Structure 1
Amino acid sequence: MASKSALLLVAAAAISGCAYKPGPDPEAGVIPVHVPVVSRSDFVFDAAAPNGSLPSSEAARLDSWFRSLDLRYGDSVYVDGGPYSEAARSQVGAIAATYGLFMAQGAPVTAGSPAPGSVRIVVSRTVASVPDCPNWERPAQPNYNNKMMPNFGCGVNANLAAMVANPEDLVHGREGSGVVDVVTSTKAVNVYRSTAPTGTQGLKEIDTKGGK
């Protein structure tokens, strides 16, 4: 009898060891699984710049390239051409200014290097998006495990990613300019201080029997 009990205990221990033990499940918490993801793409254009300046034909090609990229706010324009590219940098800056952009300092690392007598123009574009949204892979009911809905966070975070003009601000943030209009900043405070409290006017008598 004792041997049978021992065998039963060993079998029970073996079966319990095979029990399913789920790992961490993000959908079981309250933090959204769908969050904005910021990605950056670098576009490269090599232009001939004899004597360090762009000929008119190369400037026209560069402008056409900017139009094909739909150059817009949030893009960063760099010039990589060594110490002799200041004249070309000024020309590229003048073309970029027609799109409302300033030149960025430095240049990102790209494959290879510009050929002698040429400069490399790099346009960096940052995009914010929320992958896998919308997501209705699972019905709302039944929800036996009390998990968040698969679409939870898609609406708020997708709108956040869409309304930020420069997606890099989601990563690095942005410091204040330091320029403050005192009149504008104190307008709301002055209205709050100058408005009489509603309690000083007493309670209004409302007649609910007149039917008017």
Structure 2
Amino acid sequence: MSKPSILASLLPALLLAVPLAGCMGTENRGLESVHQPVVSRSDYALDLGLSGGELAQGEQERLAGWMTTMHLGYGDRVAIDDPAAEGYRARTNVAAVVARYGLLLSADAPVTPAPVTPGTIRVVVSRMRADVPRCPDWSRNSSDDFAENTSSNYGCAINRNLAAMIANPADLVRGAPGTETTDAALSYKAIDTYRKKAPTGAGGLSASSTGGK
């Protein structure tokens, strides 16, 4: 049989193998899930006018309206970008608005694309979000998986719950530092009280009378 005829006979099998290979789904070869939380950050900026080092008239109300629209809340970071240090009193004005949402101003402002116009300051709200893409994932049929892969959906539930519940998504990237010092004496108080307390059954059972004869 000539080479062209051999290739012609193999072509239908190759064409059939291509879609079948695409139907195999996500490969999860180990016990560590391929579905991991992904953290993204979005920065939102608002430029406010200055007058005499503080916010110009009406700017504080405009800032409050903008933050209400942004649904500012726990986890958001608010910073002021003032490279020329013109708003030396405006920081107090901004901090007063931010305090209504139970937040404090951050010390460092993220880099924004456009320069700050002279006579203005820039308020930047940074919002981080954690999510697990491509979940749920039932792309792989485990009933005929001869490679013994872990389920393609393995890890989706626990990692999506972790991404939804974590207070600060940045902790998934760099972690959270623990307390620098531990007071051993304070920790011992609860243990010592537990050890010295008499067992509840040590006193025996009390006798009681129903009053009948």
Are 2:111 and 1:90 equivalent residues in the alignment?
no
What SS does structure 2 have at the residue aligned with 1:128? strand
Larger mean Cα displacement after TM superposition, 135-144 or 84-93: 135-144
- Residues 1-150 of structure 1: matches in 2 within 5 Å? 27-81=28-82, 82-150=84-152
**Structure 1 counterpart of 2:116, which letter?**
P
Q: Which runs of 5+ in 1 are unaligned?
A: 1-24, 202-212
Deviation track 1:9-36 (CA, whole Å, cap 9, x = no partner) reads xxxxxxxxxxxxxxxx961122110011
Q: Distance in 1 between matches of 2:29 and 2:175?
A: 30
1:136-168 Cα distance to aligned partner (Å, 9 max, x none): 122331221101111100111111111111111
Q: Is the 8 A contact 2:48 2:122 kept in 1?
A: yes
TM-score of the pair, normalised by structure 1 = 0.73
Q: CA–CA distance in 2 between the matches of 1:26 and 1:50?
A: 60
**Contact 1:51/1:117, CA 8 A, preserved across alignment:** no
TM-score (norm 2): 0.72
1:58-99: per-residue Cα shift (whole Å, max 9, x none)? Answer: 111111111111111111111112322221111111100110
Tell me, what secondary structure is at the counterpart of 2:159?
helix
Residue-pair matches, total: 174
Offset of 1:40 from its aligned partner?
0.5
Unaligned runs of 5+ in 2: 1-25, 203-213
Give how far 1:171 is off: 1.5
**Distance of 2:164 and 2:60 partners within structure 1:** 33
How far apart, in 2, do the equivalents of 1:68 and 1:99 lie? 13
